[in-house]
Amino acid sequence: MSKIVNVEFKLRTYEYYKPFHITGSISESSTNIEVVIETDAGVKGYGEISPSFRVNGEKVEALYKLEEAVKESIIGMDVKEYRKIFEVLDRFFSTPSVKAGVQYAVLDAFSEEIETPVYYLLGGLKEEIETDRTVGMDTIENMVKEAKKIFSEGFNVIKIKVGENLRKDIEVVGEIAKETKGAKYIVDANMGYTPKQAIEFARVLYRRGIDISVFEQPVVASDIEGLKYIRFNSTYPVAADESARSKYDVYRLIKEEAVDFINIKLMKSGISDALAIIEMTKTANLQLMIGCMGESSLGINQSVNIALGTGAFVFHDLDSHLMLKENAFRGKFKQENAKIKIL
């Protein structure tokens, strides 16, 4: 049998190696919830909930108390029929990171029972992906130094956090580009610019001959018109992150022709919405990247399997586990510099 007999939530806190600074936020640690699902066959599946108050309005203290509600919803259900369980968990629409962690734990339990990796259950389209690494906000000197180190370690895609000081941002991206020739750049403003500032940022860097692969979430999440304005008035592809939390958000972005890229994060949408978004964006001929919040290796494992299984993503921003201090690596994947594959 494959029926769920228990669901357990466990609090886990991980410190960052150094404070992680993005627009309007500095994090020194990440407190997540480890999800353990057990079936009547004695098999256990694992997932992780990594909430973001800034993006989803979620607090870990509140999510932890949902353990009993999750138990009441899915105990007795069969992990083989995981789409039925996904439909039940979609009722937790206001707590998408709970959806993500529990839905993945269900998939993980099913995969353990049939001895087949999760990415095969989702299609097995890729054997390997390549992640970027992120340069958090700091002094110009420190950001350039970190970017050079990342590039020297074999990471060919560098994500650069900007959004608090336009002039400094232009300078730091320019200096990083000088020192890491041959790299690709994802520039993420985390909602820090006005539309006019975003256009100036793009125009100045373009005139300097600097190519940016993705200009991510330059304006506040609710400003869909602003995203569209930037998309049609700058040379760089524009991505929605905070503006694209659910499949309904993405549907609106597609209708408005507001972006070139959608950044899927499981913690924003859950796995069920993520799979729907993948199909929607394929139909609309948009491109996809996959990102993360403050997940440990256990949580990054979820996104790795989604990315490999669906093969849907142009860029993979799956590096949070490399920023966190963990006692033990818990992902079911192997990483060599930027390259990631399933064990």
Residue 1: predicted pLDDT: 66
Structure tokens at 240: 């929605």
pLDDT at 122 over 80: yes
pLDDT in tens, 211-232: 999 999 999 999 999 999 999 9
Report the alpha-carbon distance of residue 238 to residue 261 in Å, rounded: 6
Predicted confidence (pLDDT) per residue in 246-262, tens digit: 999 999 999 999 999 99
Query: What is the mean pLDDT of the segment spanning 118-123?
Result: 97
Tracing tokens 């998939």 back to the chain, one arrives at 107
Determine the Cα–Cα distance for residues 99 and 88; give it in Å rounded to an integer. 10
Q: Residues 99, 159, 247, 265: which is the catalytic one?
A: 265
Q: Which residues is 92 bridged to in the sheet?
A: none
| Domain locations in the chain as residue ranges | 4-116, 120-341
Given 159, 161, 247, 268, the catalytic residue = 161
Pick the CATH number of 4-116 from 3.40.50.150, 3.40.50.2300, 3.30.390.10, 3.40.50.850: 3.30.390.10
Q: How many residues in total does the chain contain?
A: 343
Summarised one tens digit per residue, pLDDT across range 153-165 is: 999 999 999 999 9
- In this prediction the pTM is 0.96
- Overall average pLDDT of the 282-305 stretch: 98
Residue 304, helix vs strand vs coil: helix
Residue 149 is a catalytic residue: no
Amino acid 10: pLDDT: 98
Q: Of 131, 122, 192, which Cα lies nearest the Cα of 161? A: 192
Topology of 120-341 in CATH? TIM Barrel (3.20.20)
> Annotated catalytic, 18?
no
Mean pLDDT of the chain: 97
CB of 146 within 8 A of CB of 138?
Answer: yes
